[in-house]
Amino acid sequence: MPVPTVNHHDIRRLPRSLVAAILCLALATLGVSWLQIESPSPPAGDLRVNTADEAIGARAFVIDQIFGEDSILSNSSRSRAKVDCDQSSNIFCGMFDKVADIEALTVTMEFGLTSLVTLVTPMHSGKIVTIYHRGHAGPSVFTPDFTPSVNALLKAGHTVAIIAMPLYPPNEPIVTVGDVVLATHDDFEKLPRFTPSAELKFFLQPVFQTVEDFSQRHPDWQIQLAGLSGGGWTTVLAAAIDSRIDRSVSIAGSMPITTWTSEEDADREQTLPGIAGRLDYQDLYVLMTYPNRNATLVYNTHDPCCFAPGETSWAWEESVRSAAGELGGTLNVLYQQSDLHDIGQEGLGAILLNSARN
């Protein structure tokens, strides 16, 4: 799968100052003000992304806040190595059925931070990789349906790339950078930063490097990103930025900040430092589908952890789905009857929908 060109709305490889100038001129020509992107936070339910120009501008703004003049892969690298399960301590060895191969993709980022991505290849592989992000779950915290869900994906021909949040196993739980000790996600704000949202790149680059790896090795494959909880949050932001992600499924991952009743229990990254106030999650949901892509948001009606809608649908749902459709994308919002914080049958079904294309 080729890396998108600028003609396909990919602006990652141009200097952000040049991008901003080009976009300002283009938007002004069309009578659209750049202030539509950079003005104060919109009222609850309002969208900043309703047109293609606004989508391009919003994506440029998010990338600039996180990466500045750099590309989304800058200051990061990756390496692949086969996993010998007879000698390896990899937590996924022996967990799944009908596995042809297991590899470790190690992503190294700025300040020496690393993320381990486990690549599981099925016996009969189709032309699709599902990057599944487990969020905050460590090796002893598997939701009951994690293994059956991965087995279902493998059976359907998906190669599965398994990722966890920074500082959560199999990643190093504590990292020291100079005088800064990273033990929780709140500690990332203590690192030297050159952009307002620089800390968010440590959550995103493992996904982007995995996308880059499969795009180069298998350019004709489809790339799907899915995740639960913090992994669902990562799915939203990564799919909003990288248009090479063909399809995305976020489960119990987020809801618009303007609808929150309290930020007391929110993870720092959930508050979108440097981005909130200009854009909210409903804008990112539209970007997940632009251009011409499919995204699904899944909510457990009585989730004991996060973003439980109860027996009602979200008030913002219709306007966001409509905006995505007007731009040629498809946004689905699913509510599954559950009092668990897990993938669920409808969540798995949404991920498996892509199997029909193989």
Q: Secondary structure of the chain: what % helix, strand, coil (to 5)?
A: 35, 20, 45
Residue 14: predicted pLDDT? 41
Asked, as a colleague might, if the bond just before 170 is cis with ω within 30 of 0, I would say yes
Q: Give the pair of three-digit tokens for residue 305.
A: 């952890």
Residue 12: predicted pLDDT? 36
Candidates 195, 157, 197; CA nearest to 357 is 157
In Å, what is the CA distance from 307 to each residue of 12, 57, 254, 259?
32, 28, 7, 11
* Whole-angstrom distance, CA of residue 59 vs CA of residue 10: 9
Candidates 42, 55, 62; CA nearest to 275 is 62
Asked, as a colleague might, if the bond just before 2 is cis with ω within 30 of 0, I would say no
Residue 16: predicted pLDDT? 38
Residue reference for tokens 């949050």:
233
Residue 261: predicted pLDDT? 80
* Whole-angstrom distance, CA of residue 334 vs CA of residue 189: 34
Which residues is 129 bridged to in the sheet? Answer: 159, 223
Q: What are phi and psi of 128, to 5 degrees?
A: -155, 140
Q: Give the pair of three-digit tokens for residue 205.
A: 């680059």
pLDDT one digit per residue (tens) for the chain, 358 residues = 444 333 333 433 344 334 333 443 443 444 433 333 333 444 445 899 999 999 999 999 999 999 998 999 999 999 999 999 988 888 899 999 989 999 999 999 999 999 999 999 999 989 999 999 999 875 555 678 899 999 999 999 999 999 999 999 889 999 999 999 999 999 999 999 889 899 999 999 999 999 999 999 999 999 999 999 999 999 999 999 999 999 999 999 999 998 888 655 788 999 999 999 899 999 999 999 999 999 999 999 999 999 999 999 999 999 999 999 999 999 999 999 999 999 999 999 999 986 644 4
21 CB burial (10 A radius; 0-12, 13-18, 19+): exposed
DSSP state for residue 2 in the 8-state scheme:
P
In Å, what is the CA distance from 92 to each residue of 102, 148, 228?
9, 13, 18
CA 77 to chain centre: 18
The answer to whether 251 touches 228, Cβ cutoff 8 Å, is yes
Q: For strands 99-108 and 114-122, give the pairing.
A: antiparallel
Which residues is 108 bridged to in the sheet? Answer: 77, 114
* Whole-angstrom distance, CA of residue 73 vs CA of residue 238: 12
* Whole-angstrom distance, CA of residue 269 vs CA of residue 202: 11
DSSP state for residue 295 in the 8-state scheme:
E
The answer to whether 112 touches 106, Cβ cutoff 8 Å, is no
Domains, the chain, with CATH or none = 6-357 (3.40.50.1820)
Residue 357: predicted pLDDT? 46
